[in-house]
Chains A and B, each alone.
Chain A
Amino acid sequence: RKEVEQDPGPFNVPEGATVAFNCTYSNSASQSFFWYRQDCRKEPKLLMSVYSSGNEDGRFTAQLNRASQYISLLIRDSKLSDSATYLCVVNSAGGSYIPTFGRGTSLIVHP
Chain B
Amino acid sequence: ETGVTQSPTHLIKTRGQQVTLRCSSQSGHNTVSWYQQALGQGPQFIFQYYREEENGRGNFPPRFSGLQFPNYSSELNVNALELDDSALYLCASSGGTADGYTFGSGTRLTVV
Bound CA–CA A91/B48 (angstroms): 13
Contact between A87 and B42, CB atoms less than 8 A apart: yes
Bound CA–CA A101/B43 (angstroms): 6
Please indicate which of the listed interface residues B44, B58, B94, B97 has the most CB atoms of chain A within 10 Å of its own CB: B97
Q: Does B77 contact A (CB under 8 A)?
A: no
Contact between A96 and B55, CB atoms less than 8 A apart: yes
Q: Does A31 contact B (CB under 8 A)?
A: yes
Check A98/B100 contact, CB under 8 A, given A44-B90, A87-B42: no
Contact between B98 and A31, CB atoms less than 8 A apart: yes
Contact between B103 and A43, CB atoms less than 8 A apart: yes
B100's partner among A31, A43, A46 (CB-CB below 8 A) is A46
Contact between B98 and A44, CB atoms less than 8 A apart: no
Contacts of B41 in A (CB 8 A): 103-104
Please indicate which of the listed interface residues B42, B45, B97 has the most CB atoms of chain A within 10 Å of its own CB: B42
Find residues 31-46 in chain B having any chain A CB closer than 8 Å to their own CB. 33, 35, 40-45
A104's partner among B35, B42, B44, B56 (CB-CB below 8 A) is B42
Q: Does B7 contact A (CB under 8 A)?
A: no
Contacts of B105 in A (CB 8 A): 42-43
Scoring A residues 88 to 99 as 1 if CB is less than 8 Å from chain B, else 0, what string do you get? 010100011111
Please indicate which of the listed interface residues A6, A31, A96, A104 has the most CB atoms of chain B within 10 Å of its own CB: A96
Bound CA–CA A36/B103 (angstroms): 11
Q: Does B66 contact A (CB under 8 A)?
A: no
Residues in A lying within 8 Å of B, measured CB to CB: 4, 6, 8, 31-32, 34, 36, 42-46, 49, 87, 89, 91, 95-104
Residues in B lying within 8 Å of A, measured CB to CB: 33, 35, 40-45, 48, 50, 55-56, 58, 90, 92, 94, 97-98, 100-106
Beyond A43-B104, A46-B101, list 18 extra A-B contacts (CB 8 Å).
A34-B100, A36-B100, A43-B105, A43-B106, A46-B100, A91-B98, A95-B55, A96-B56, A97-B98, A98-B33, A98-B56, A99-B92, A99-B101, A101-B42, A101-B44, A101-B45, A102-B42, A104-B42
